[in-house]
Amino acid sequence: MGPFELKSARYLAADHLARVIREGDAVADATAGNGHDTCFLAELAGAAGRVYAFDIQASAIESTAERLAESGLSSRVTLLNTGHEHMAEHIREPLRAVMFNLGWLPGGNKQITTQWETTRRALEQALSLLMPLGVCTVCVYPGHASGEEERQRLTEYLASLRPQEYNVLHEKFLNAGAFAPECFVIQRME
């Protein structure tokens, strides 16, 4: 990773995760998308690590698989063509990190977006799977109707977490407009 630069919510999430994930860790990409985050996580977790990547769209799983193969990272990743709300059904080990990138598949059908109810269930599972001092990042995109609802509900949900159990950070670019992407970082305490 290059020099620190305040350029996007996704970049901030990646910067936080790069500080946490170690060689051999188990981690999850809750929204595989086009595979950029999955490859990033696989590089951080290393050859001894394991990445679980979820997406409901078969096209997202296919493009993630292609990107992983091109990068030589396929053996580190378990691709799951199912909703992230089924995370606990597929992961049986503690996770060092979980990455959510909400909204729609870049370049895909913008009518297919993450929805708060399934995101909430996935987030609850992700937080329960985190090991002590593990981190979950959530990038939210409030520039569309379901994205704004997710941002509002996510903010309320995360604000209600017990501070004895979780630290929650909310990063927002104040001069980028009302609908700029935002990053939430949740760390499970010991």
> What CATH number did the domain enclosing 25 receive?
3.40.50.150
Is this model's pTM higher than 0.85 or not? yes
Residue closest to 56 by CA, chosen among 33, 83, 36, 30: 83
Does 3 reside within a domain? no
pLDDT at 25: 98
d(CA 25, CA 3): 24
Q: Is 8 helix (H, G, I), strand (E, B) or coil?
A: coil
Residue-wise pLDDT tens for the chain (190 aa)? 566 677 889 999 999 999 999 999 999 999 999 999 999 999 999 999 999 999 998 999 999 999 999 999 999 999 999 999 999 999 999 999 999 998 754 555 555 567 888 999 999 999 999 999 999 999 998 877 788 888 999 999 999 999 999 999 999 998 988 888 999 999 999 7
Residue closest to 153 by CA, chosen among 112, 111, 119, 110: 119
Does 20 reside within a domain? yes
Does 1 reside within a domain? no
Q: Domain residues for 39?
A: 9-188
**How do residues 76-104 score in pLDDT, each as one tens digit?**
999 999 999 999 999 999 999 999 998 75
Instruction: For residue 119, count other CB atoms closer than 10 A to its CB.
Output: 25
Burial (CB < 10 A; 0-12, 13-18, 19+), residue 185, is: buried
The count of domains in the chain is: 1
Task: Count how many residues are written for the chain.
Answer: 190
Instruction: For residue 145, count other CB atoms closer than 10 A to its CB.
Output: 9
Does 120 reside within a domain? yes
d(CA 83, CA 131): 22
What mean pLDDT, rounded, does the chain reach?
91
Does 4 reside within a domain? no
Q: Is 37 helix (H, G, I), strand (E, B) or coil?
A: helix
Q: Which residues pair with 138 in a beta bridge?
A: 100, 184
Residue closest to 127 by CA, chosen among 89, 76, 90, 161: 161
